[in-house]
Chain A
Amino acid sequence: MKLLLSLVVLCSFSAACDKKDAPAPVKKLTLQLNWKPEPQFGGFYAARESGAFAQNGLDVEVVAGGVGTPTVQMVAAGKAEFGIVSADELLISRGNGADVVALFAVYQTCPQALMTHASRGFKEIGDLFRNPGTVAMQKGLPYASYLDKKLGFERVRVVPSPGGDLGVFRKEKEYAMQCFVTSEPIAAKKLGLDAQTFLIAEAGYNPYTTVLVTRGDYLRANPDTVKSVVNGVRDGWTSYLNNPIATNQMMQKLNPTMDMQTFADSAAAQKDLIQTEETKKYGLGTMRAERWETLGKQLVDLKVVEKAPPASECFADLLKK
């Protein structure tokens, strides 16, 4: 009897020690967002909720951000393994010596836009700057410098962006504000305001936006982990684009400033910015070297960076088809 017992104990012990069959320890990782939970991040939350991360042995915590969250600095400093930035932010950061690398670009078309009142009767983005009025932008963002160079700000008064607050927009007619086409215009329409938006991309400035990034040395040290994360992200976005409702409900609890209808409208509005001919060809989140090069040239031209880093250093396409 004693012998049988010790044999059983021995076997189970050796089974537990068998590394091949034992589950690997779960890696805890942080993904830092640069805004509050909104449909622009739907795929990331979906990846976590659907288990796309877990099935690869990953525990990725998606941390919400807010006004001015310094995601690129946080990733560069190692406070978060992954973060969300825009492509121009990444190029600036690399120019400052931070080794940050892009992995997955959610928005193929940049959703940055300027929103004004339809009653002004403007036809294209240039009209905003040819007629007197107030334009609220984050002047430090490269797109603002781009518009200044292309169109000139002499005729308008430029003030800081209100960070999503529609207070002044409601009150003043000759007022345009920076927005993401997926959020503020929808909120404005809900308030019954006649909002009209003009995409910056139409003026010729179109950086990849809501881009998943990591540190260069982290990527080189943990290629498999990073690849698994990107896989999970792609699965999460595929699932979210098909059916956003469940994830929207989950995000709405985290960000009650928007209601479910707005979540739904926003998710619908962003689809065409995320799924394009290129993603059909190369997969969701894909990035092309040419666009990084174009962006680099634009930033050099605007004197935002001194030298454009080679496109190959800026992004890693881990999911080549």
Chain B
Amino acid sequence: MGVRLRGVEKVFEGGVKALRAIDLEIGEGEFVSVLGPSGCGKSTLLRIVAGLEWASFGEVEVGERGPHPNPLPAYGQRGHEKRATQVSPLQERGSRVAFVFQDAHLLPWRNVIRNVMLPLELLGWDRARTRAAAGDALSQVGLSDALDRYPAQLSGGMRMRVSLARALVTEPALLLLDEPFAALDEITRQRLDEQLRALWKARAMTVIFVTHSISEAAYLSQRAIVMSKRPGKVLLDHRVELPAERPARLRGEASFASEMRTLFDALERGEA
């Protein structure tokens, strides 16, 4: 599932301009990370792609053009601001786009497996299929023995893995992540990065990953987009020159450091 943004701008109520003239084209199956200083609008950008916010100006297209085994309806937003309570065209694509927030945001009154079953419940799948798919997703993130636990009983890292499983349970074509591992310790974070990359490779989905962390962006993505400070625009759209196979020790290599340098410089420019 590809994403196309043309001239997208976002102005919030009260006149705060979050994004200006964003032009972006992301191909199907790409892993793209979005970097930028705090408040630069990267989260807003992600939410616009998700359909949680509407762009003030410009065009947003999410979906396929041309022949594809499962064509999904493309949609376009043009022109003026709409109220967020309006029905989002997401409902048509609900099964194909998934979002992972910075906090796991699990439903505290449901246990782990029922949390992962939620998206399929909302989409109307029958109970047996739902349970099987949820169990599957949880085994993919390595939580098969925590099915009956409640979120309050889990560590931060485990909760985030449940959130990931929930996002993957619908087998999304487009996975959006907003600084998902920011609140975790470094080791857990690296492990989850590796797990995410493996899942991406296995499923051929498009991933847009918003992050603060330069090393995370360098490690995970094929392409890194650096944004300026608010109002954000694209400063750098950089193809990451690292091999397709990214073992953990890659982080110690010189090539890795050089990628990080490129990204760091762009960020500095954006801050100025």
The answer to whether A and B touch in the complex, with CB atoms under 8 Å apart, is no
Give the interface of A toward B (CB within 8 A).
none
Give the interface of B toward A (CB within 8 A).
none
